[in-house]
Amino acid sequence: MVFGKHFIGDVKAPVEKALKCLLEVNPTLGFIESHKVVYKRTGKSDKVILISGGGSGHEPAHAAFIGDGMLDVVVAGDIYASPSAAQILVGLEAIERSKGTLMIVKNYTGDKLNFGLAAQKARAKGDVSVVFVNDDASLDAESLVGRRGLAGTVFVHKAAGAAAAHGLQLSEVTRIAQKVSDNLATVAVSLDRCSVPGRTDQEGLPAGEIEYGLGIHNEPGVLRTGISDLQTTVSKVLSYLLSSSSPISLNPSDQIAVMINNMGGLSILELNVIAEEVFQQVSKTNHGFKILRKYIGPFMTSLDGPGFSVTLLKLDDETIKLLDEPTNAPAWPKQFDLSHDEPVESRISRYSAPEKPAYSSKNHLIVTPEILTQVASAILKRIQKEEPTITKYDSIVGDGDCGTTLLKGATAIHEAFQNNKVDTTDISTVFESISEIVEINMGGTSGAIYGIFLNALVNNLRMVDGGNGLKSVFQQSLSGALQELCTYTLARKGHRTLMDTLIPFVETFEKTGDLKKAVAEGAKGCEDTKKMEAKLGRASYVNAEQLERDGGVVDPGALGLKCILEVLEEELAA
């Protein structure tokens, strides 16, 4: 992460601009720009009004939780700064509040003081209640400032909002909000601090360290330690949530909701992997908790913080019903009917491959299986050695996955030989098995090219007459496979792809029958890619300066195939 590097580093009033954007896509919202107040213009007003807010930088909290069945008014401060009492008072006047107002406030000093002052002033014009949320399980409740309010606050928004939508009195809505707040616990962990727009001299965590117990304002956590595997990290988070000092006490067989919150900087893929591990560990603890509701996504972020938080909410029938009530608040996740929920494992099916057509081996194609096993092992060793280089080149000219994709395929092929999973009836069945392994384990363009070529090679091997020996069969079959491949790809020699290795190799072997010469021509074609302009693939999007730096960058796909062919020639020669 590069701290301070932002598209909006020079933008004046970024909070106001971000809030105005909400109005672009949501016609139900109004905005008092001078005081950074966003409010619901439509819907019922003869109800308890819910108001929340705080410093900005936690999006989608809080304004994206405005909607029927959730919040009515949100007051935003500057990034990580509480709104003033004057702002909050304007927010209180944004909507008629004949049945009173509930303030939902995170337990931070600035928020408590400013919302508290506004509440005192507003009580002259109507009933105002305040619920403070302090769900941070990493801090000691006995400290002077108490626990911080974190992502669990959104659960309070939802339950109280649903209660207010049903027309309950302020005292009842307040009771429900307080009950939910009292049954929450949240802990966060992050790989690094977030980057604050416009702020210089920002300091991140040392490489190789993570931090547990962070707040949502870039403040330090309670424990900094070395990065461990995901299982250990999740286990540590849960240890805080389930400790004796946690704000909630869970008993065996308690029903809970679990929220996995993206703190802003994690990819959806990474967050889902983390969430799956959390669900597995919570379900398999010896506490016997039953997870009735699961929520994954960005709920309360810390700008682009590369971390996540886990919230546990103890449920009762009332809370479950309120969580399930509909809302059109944009940031609340879509709910599915869980009344007939079946275990995940029971919904995972296993693919069974159809039976292959009967095939009779051809004598001229029969080879010694031990030789093939030895070749597969040698190819794996070479790819393991070259993978960092291939990945480095692909990170410059592509998407950085060429080396790992090739290694994954080579590893799977080697393991298949070691476990007798390759059909060694003859060389065509060997390549048929390898093509199936490639199709399953190698994605992307290179995987598709290898797959098409190998399948075409199998078909050609079985069609070509073997009267002139195995070398002649391969000369014709490789040529035929290349022709078929060229009907599916526009890549040719000179286009800076793996075809710059494959085409000269096949053409030379077809003409000469000399494997050593053919591999040498393929290697030359690979080396020539350093000087080529990319015309196909992701490298075609890269500017010429990047391709030409350090004397030129070899095409990673061409390099990977070159390594395979060189090992093949060495092993067969031996």
Smallest CA-to-CA distance from 80 within 204, 222, 205, 195 is with: 195
**111 labeled binding residue:** yes
Asked if residue 461 lies in contact with residue 477, where contact means CB atoms within 8 angstroms, the answer is: yes
CA 480 to CA 458: how far, in whole Å? 10
CA 563 to CA 265: how far, in whole Å? 37
CA 308 to CA 212: how far, in whole Å? 10
Peptide bond into 206 cis (omega under 30): no
The DSSP call for residue 57 is: S
CA 352 to each of CA 247, 355, 356, 432, 437: distance values in angstroms, whole numbers, following the listed order: 49, 9, 12, 17, 15
What DSSP string runs through 61-120? Answer: TTGGGBSTTSBSEEEEEEET-PPPHHHHHHHHTSS--TT-EEEEEES-HHHHHHHHHHHH
Q: Is the dihedral of CA 76, 78, 81, 86 positive or negative?
A: negative
The strand pair at 29-32 and 37-40 is best described as: antiparallel
CA 376 to CA 428: how far, in whole Å? 16
Smallest CA-to-CA distance from 261 within 297, 218, 217 is with: 297
**190 labeled binding residue:** no
Task: Kindly give the interhelix angle for 170-182 and 317-324, rounded to the nearest 10 degrees.
Answer: 100
CA 137 to CA 398: how far, in whole Å? 43
**57 labeled binding residue:** yes
Asked if residue 385 lies in contact with residue 421, where contact means CB atoms within 8 angstroms, the answer is: no
Q: Which element (helix H / strand E) includes 258?
A: strand 255-262
CA 306 to each of CA 180, 200, 301, 309, 536: distance values in angstroms, whole numbers, following the listed order: 28, 19, 10, 11, 34
Residues with catalytic annotation?
A: 217
Asked if residue 420 lies in contact with residue 450, where contact means CB atoms within 8 angstroms, the answer is: no
CA 482 to each of CA 470, 491, 503, 569: distance values in angstroms, whole numbers, following the listed order: 18, 11, 7, 19
Asked if residue 123 lies in contact with residue 149, where contact means CB atoms within 8 angstroms, the answer is: no
CA 469 to CA 123: how far, in whole Å? 98
CA 310 to CA 187: how far, in whole Å? 6
Asked if residue 126 lies in contact with residue 95, where contact means CB atoms within 8 angstroms, the answer is: no
Count CB-CB contacts under 10 A for residue 356: 10
Binding site, residues? Answer: 55-58, 106, 111
Binding site for substrate, residues? Answer: 55-58, 106, 111
